Amino acid sequence: MKKNIQFGETVEGYNIPVLNEREIRAAAGILFLVIFFALILIMFKNDFLLAKYSITIFLTDFIVRVFVSPRFSPTLIIGRLIVRNQVPEYVGAKQKKFTWMVGVGLSGTMFIFMVLVNSYSPITGIICLLCLIFLFFESAFGICLACKVYKIVYQEKAQYCPGEVCDVKARQDIQKTSPAQLLIILGFIAYITLTAVLFNDQLSKKPYDLFGIFGTEKSK
């Protein structure tokens, strides 16, 4: 029973409890997708129903992670099923617990304002944006933003960070960015800007139903 409720897994070769970063990223992607669609419904249809459900799910899932065990988190279990054929990438459990405590605080605040009080404000908007940013960076880049302040709060170095970002090391050649590559980025930004300036009117036109299967009129 103790093994089931401990925070993190005991893995040979690691001197602290660890978690599988791959399933954490998968779970973050799932939550990001749900919250993103909820935000879209709010922005374009003024529909808050999915947002209220997603906030409740978010808060419940993170409470289970922090106060029970990550082993029983529904989204982490789904994430484990999705990435079960991938080689695990281990990350220290302690800094993840800190991150998820931040998640409990943010989602708890959202739950109070939007679900219990049934209100919205700049506060809920900012918190929702923060959650999306945290989840996006975790799922897309494997970067835990809340983990960045772990060292400040606990006055100790985090262990076993994804991609070994906690360890100071020289970048390999394949990780280095040349001046030419930086110029490509600037050129790409200029290309997008120029496209927007020259073709905005054309791109702003509503597409017409090519085969007429949706019953819409051809745009003029």
pLDDT tens for each residue of the chain, 220 residues long: 445 556 888 888 888 889 999 999 999 999 999 999 999 999 999 999 999 999 999 999 999 999 999 999 999 999 999 999 999 999 888 889 999 999 999 999 999 999 999 999 999 999 999 999 999 999 998 888 877 777 777 777 777 777 666 665 667 788 788 999 999 999 999 999 999 999 888 888 888 777 888 765 544 4
Read off the tokens for 171: 């970048």
Model pLDDT, residue 165:
63
Cα→Cα distances 27→69, 127, 138, Å: 15, 19, 10
Model pLDDT, residue 172:
77
Model pLDDT, residue 215:
66
In three-state secondary structure terms, 19 is strand
Burial (Cβ within 10 Å: 0-12, 13-18, ≥19) of residue 138: buried
For residue 62, which of 36, 19, 98 has the smallest C-alpha distance?
98
Model pLDDT, residue 31:
95
Model pLDDT, residue 5:
59
Q: Can you spell out the DSSP letters for 107-145?
A: HHHHIIIIIIS----HHHHHHHHHHHHHHHIIIII---T
Predicted structure pTM score: 0.79
